[in-house]
Amino acid sequence: MDDRTKVDCVANARALAPVITAAAPRIEAGRELPADLVAALHEARLFRMLVPRSLGGEELSPIDYVRAIEEIAKADASTAWCIGQTSVCSTISKCMKREVAEEIFKSNPCGVLAWGPTNNAKAVAEKGGFRVSGVWPYASGSKHATWLAAHCFIYEPDGEQRRDANGKPIQKTLVVPRERATFQDVWHVMGLKGTGSNTYTLNDVFVPEDYAIGYHALNPAERREHGPLYSFTIYQLFGSSFPAIALGIARTMLDDFLALAKAKTPTNQTALLRDNAVIQSQVGVAESQLAAARAFFFAAWDEIWQAAQTGTMSIDQRVRLRMAASHASREAREVVETVYLAAGATAIFENNPFERRFRDMHAVSQQAQSQFQIFEAIGRHFLGLPHNSRLI
């Protein structure tokens, strides 16, 4: 039994916020998290939030996890994105062989797993393992990762693609030490610059069979960790990380605007910005949007987390969680756009707190799980149709 004292990662994230905020210019300029900040994040146990307790992790509830991500995002979105991405990646340890999981997460106190999405990579079966070749883009947090995952279609030695009983191509997730990969420096982007989400390549790399699990750890039969946290898929956890980041960005940007409105007298005017009736109405709407979106998001998590602890999660609860997550992302983006426009020319200067957060928010909103099309699957559910979405 693990009797270690639980770490309050939400409090740690809040306490570390001034350090993260101070590092933001270096994060932006260097297009990665600086080594001293990475060390501080490890010290605060923020890379260990979703790692199983049996592997020396914190195994937080998803609710505490998204609260911590929100706090980090208030300070810097790129930092929150890196923590969120690699934290969710770590949950596939629930299906790893014990020795492999310990090698990645327990033997190295700074062990971090990162990955990029599948890009038609292939793993050819051979004696004792697989010969892997492929390219994986958008590998957020990979600059400070120690291991990478390679999501691959499986091929037989004769070149025939391996398929399941229904004729569907079989995929697996294989893990390799980071040094086996070659990286391409492609992350020259508008927002979330500090995530270092570059592309990596594996070329004819042998991966032992023990280092392969079912694709994205979605096979319940492979589970070795049975805590309620690990009943959630990576899609549900990733899909909640992004709105938590969006809510954090919007909260800080709105707070910064409130401070500006109390001090700024617009050009050719005599009254403070806060005395403008339009601004007052915009602030009222923005505060309402943000409070409502956040309340819905956490209410959905409270409900489904209670169900997860008793093994009674329903499809309605899963749809409600996806609704709340997608809604929070959209509402947070609208708040950021309102604030950016209301701040006027002040918002366009790099030395003011609006420009970077505006760019970061619009990078967050481009992620597939933030797209409007997700509402189609939600609508299909309410119309009595199959949702046909792995995101739910």
CA distance 151 to 120: 9
Per-residue confidence (pLDDT) for residue 368, from 0 to 100: 84
CATH of 113-222, one of 2.40.110.10, 3.90.1150.10, 3.30.365.10, 2.60.40.10: 2.40.110.10
The answer to whether 122 and 157 have CB atoms below 8 angstroms apart is no
9-106 and 113-222 have identical folds: no
Express each pLDDT in 334-352 by its tens digit: 999 999 999 999 999 998 8
Q: Which CATH class is domain 9-106?
A: mainly alpha
Rounded average pLDDT per 10-residue block, the chain, 392 residues? 80 98 96 97 98 96 98 98 98 97 96 92 96 97 96 95 93 97 96 97 97 92 94 96 98 97 90 94 98 98 97 96 96 97 94 94 91 92 91 88
The answer to whether 378 and 387 have CB atoms below 8 angstroms apart is yes
The answer to whether 92 and 86 have CB atoms below 8 angstroms apart is no
Per-residue confidence (pLDDT) for residue 388, from 0 to 100: 84
Domain ranges for the chain, please list them.
9-106, 113-222, 232-382
Per DSSP bridges, beta strands 171-177 and 147-155 are: antiparallel
Q: Which CATH class is domain 232-382?
A: mainly alpha
Residue owning tokens 């420096």: 185
Per-residue confidence (pLDDT) for residue 6, from 0 to 100: 86
